[in-house]
Amino acid sequence: MIRTQLYTTDFARPKIVDGMWPEMVDDRTRRRVFPIPSVVSLIGQTPLVPLDRVVGNLSPAVDLYVKLEGFNPGGSVKDRAALSIVQEALRTGELSPGKTLIDATSGNTGISYALLGAALGFPVELVMPADASPERVQVLKAYGAKLVLSDPAGRTDGARGVAQQMVAAEPDRYFYADQYNNPANPLAHYTTTGPEIWQQTAGQVTHFVAGMGTSGTMMGAGRYLRERNPAVQLVGVQPTSSERSIPGLKHLATADALEIYDPHLVDEIAVVDVDEAKAMARRLAREKGFFVGISAGAAVVAALEVARELAEGTVVALLPDGGFKYASAPFWA
């Protein structure tokens, strides 16, 4: 059996239990809270694979790997954070029978919530900018989530404002998941993503590259890797500006402040233009058979820049989702 770390509110000391996915246990009574259904057992343990052909001329002593989070059942890395948030809310009773989970989303986290709502039996309501790709809207409807479309000019920050107003108007109806400020978000990556990368590289990772959306992936996985090796370099990825946005990523200078983000943890912020990200997503599909999203293309662009400057090292770029939710975008052609 694989030893898997159990989500807990203790960020520094995650518990270890046997089994592919453990049952939730109340820390005080040690009683089982609820069993994990089979679809949830598919979250995590995503593949880490090398890049060749795409990488160009790198030093022979430099390895570049990508972690393919599109292999999660909801199609993105957000399955990890959503599961952690839901598990903690069920444990504490914040998400109780009769309550609806609500949050703002650009799409991926919403899909993860909707999947979990269908699997675990709680209603999901999501606020999403109205310019979200039609594929995302259709997937959410397929899972039975209720959608509220917000002004696209406000992007996800505007959607957050709408969600907060809805919760303030009916506080007893909703559990506000608040992925941008919920500590269970980075905890998911501290207890799963980081340990997986460390294990899959046999502790050889020297640089970790990930996009900055909620910042949960970098804060959790980056903190774990830094604890295992203080010399690991952490590189965040953002778009060039809020006007030239990349789906799922924040332009930190113009976005609302994120409570879970610690700027002192990150060594470097790589800036990638949206056209570069799209071009790389096309290359990955046509030269590697990796059908990934636009933010995944941005992560590879940034990781290549890091790798080209190294004489030796192991660079890992996290590719947050697959490309199927962007299939209608014209740039593929």
- DSSP letter string, 243-299: TT--TT---TTTSPP-TT--TTT-SEEEEE-HHHHHHHHHHIIIII---B-HHHHHH
What does residue 123 show for φ and ψ, rounded to 5 degrees? -75, 150
Helix H or strand E encompassing 168: helix 155-169
By CB neighbour count within 10 A (0-12 exposed, 13-18 middle, 19+ buried), where does 7 fall? buried
One-letter amino acid for residue 232 of the chain: V
78 tagged catalytic: yes
CA distances from 284 to 100, 150, 197, 209, 273 (A): 39, 32, 21, 17, 17
List the catalytic residue out of 67, 78, 250, 325.
Answer: 78
Residue 191 structure tokens: 């207890």
295 tagged catalytic: yes
Cα within 13 Å of Cα(186), Cβ side: 26
- Closest C-alpha among 79, 95, 52 to residue 288: 52
- DSSP letter string, 53-121: STT-S--TEEEEEEEEGGGSTTSBTHHHHHHHHHHHHHHHTSS-TT-EEEEE-SSHHHHHHHHHHHHHT
List the catalytic residue out of 76, 133, 215, 295.
Answer: 295
Query: With contact defined as beta carbons under 8 Å apart, do 81 and 183 qualify?
Result: no
**Distance (Å, rounded) from C-alpha 160 to C-alpha 146?**
16
Q: Tell me the sheet residues that pair with 149.
A: 128
- Closest C-alpha among 110, 149, 68, 139 to residue 248: 110
Catalytic machinery residues: 78, 295
